[in-house]
Amino acid sequence: MTQPLYLQIAQHLREHIINGDYPLNTRIPTEKELAAALDVSRPTVRQALTLLEQEGRLIRVKGSGTFVTEPKILHESTHFIISYKEESREHNYRLRTRVLELQKEKPLKELCRDNGFELLSTAKALKDEPEVLIVTDPFTAAYEAEGLMMMARVMRELGYRVALLKPYINGKLMVIRGDRRRFVHYAVKQAARLERLSRARIKLVGFDPALTICYRDEYVQLLKDMRGNFEVMLPEEWFERELATKKLQNTLASLKSKLSALKNEDSELFSPYYLFTHCTERALVPKSVTMWQNVMQSFDLPVIPVPVACCGMAGLHGHMVQNQEIGRVRSPSVLLSIA
């Protein structure tokens, strides 16, 4: 029995991708060009491209085209979980560990001073009233201080008065460890701080997805009425909302000629960017990828989402001695215990 035409076209394109005729991260011809070259209709081509997109071989980037991407290293079934080592072996990937760089990081307080940002207590933030307050915590302050600075600099360059909140304990790491009593103890205090800042109409923006989403997930579930009424936005949520304001629209308009000049110079700035979304972010904020694409598109920058698996067992829970046996269980319930 003859295969449907779109399946034949999908196989034709799949072979070209596997053979390297369409290399990884390159853009393939448009629907119109493929339809003309293969002498078929555009809807038929679209069906074939959709199938390859579902396989993880292609990714469509709004305003930029369709790109070849790395096939998902994920199981079609989620009835079991295996280690990265086992999964890599099954897919003929060679897994190895190598130190790429070793350096001493500056503490957040020093970076803020060097970059001209204030690291504020709750009381000081209420007095200074910055337009945007980046909500830090001990984890991001220790491991993502440079990332916090980059985000703050971008916001400042766009014309906003930005400061960073002192790294108070968020409590997320206690939930991961199953210590709910300690979580509630610290979370109630943090919720009260954020409630006061929110009432002062200071826009609160988090950095790490899991720690930021904790304020709308675990805080709601475990604190209930003690949670209060405040919002800590993800970076992409803040950017997308600001894109609708005259302030940012005017700023982007003033940057348009500069961006066009850079684009004409074939600047590396306009090479595709790759988006690795956090598993919690992807599950609880499903529009996050679209939001990032819209934000990047406003700067004429293409972004390609990369399929990733859950990182939970690479985190604190799976590395704790008392959880080793749980980590070896190949059961979907493991996902619930580490999410």
Q: Residue 82 in contact with residue 330, Cβ under 8 Å? A: yes
Sorted by sequence, the CB contacts under 8 Å of residue 46 that are 6+ apart come out as 31
DSSP 8-state class, residue 323: G
Partners of 205 in beta bridges? 134, 233
Three-state DSSP class for residue 203: strand
Kindly state the tokens that stand for 176: 């991961």
User: What's residue 41's pLDDT?
Assistant: 92
Q: What tokens were used for 57?
A: 């071989």
pLDDT tens profile 82-124: 555 666 666 666 777 788 777 778 899 999 999 999 999 999 9
Backbone angles phi, psi at 42, to 5 degrees: -65, -40
Residue 130 has pLDDT above 90, yes or no: yes
* pLDDT-derived band at 55, boundaries 50, 70, 90: confident
| 336: pLDDT strictly greater than 50 | no
Tell me: pLDDT of 129 over 80. Answer: yes
Confidence of residue 326 (pLDDT cuts 50, 70, 90): low
Mean pLDDT, rounded, for 288-307: 86
pLDDT value of position 80: 44
The beta-strand segments (E) located in the chain are 58-61, 65-68, 119-120, 132-135, 162-165, 203-205, 232-233, 273-275, 303-305
The token pair that represents 172 in the structure block? 């997320």
Q: Kindly tell me if the per-residue pLDDT of 74 is higher than 60.
A: no
pLDDT average, residue stretch 152-177? 93
Q: Residue 162 pLDDT more than 50?
A: yes
| Predicted confidence (pLDDT) per residue in 227-245, tens digit | 999 999 999 999 999 999 9
Q: Which residue has the higher pLDDT, 137 or 176?
A: 137
pLDDT of 267 > 60? The answer is yes
Highest mean pLDDT among 3-17, 68-82, 115-129: 115-129
**Contact call for residues 204 and 232 (beta carbons, < 8 A):** yes
Average pLDDT, the chain: 83
Asked which of 125-129, 133-137, 174-178, 195-199 is least confident by mean pLDDT, the reply is 174-178
pLDDT: which is higher, 20 or 220: 220
- Strands 58-61 vs 65-68: parallel, antiparallel or unpaired: antiparallel
d(Cα 70, Cα 24) in Å, to the nearest integer?
A: 7
Model confidence at 53, in pLDDT bands (50, 70, 90)? confident
List, in order, residues 6 or more apart from 51 with CB less than 8 Å away. 6, 7, 10
Lowest mean pLDDT among 105-114, 192-201, 265-274: 265-274
- Which pLDDT band holds residue 20 (cuts at 50, 70, 90)? confident
Residue with the bigger pLDDT between 165 and 297: it is: 165
Q: pTM for the whole thing?
A: 0.68
CA-atom Rg of the chain in angstroms: 23
- What pLDDT does residue 232 have? 97
Model confidence band, residue 325 (pLDDT cutoffs 50, 70, 90): low
Question: How many other β-carbons are positioned within 10 Å of the β-carbon of residue 83?
Answer: 14
Give the whole-angstrom CA distance, residue 54 versus residue 46: 12
**Residue 319 reports pLDDT greater than 60:** no
User: Can you give 145-173 as a three-state secondary structure string?
Assistant: HHHHHHHHHHHHHCCCCEEEECCCCCCHH
In single-letter form, the type of residue at position 150 comes to M
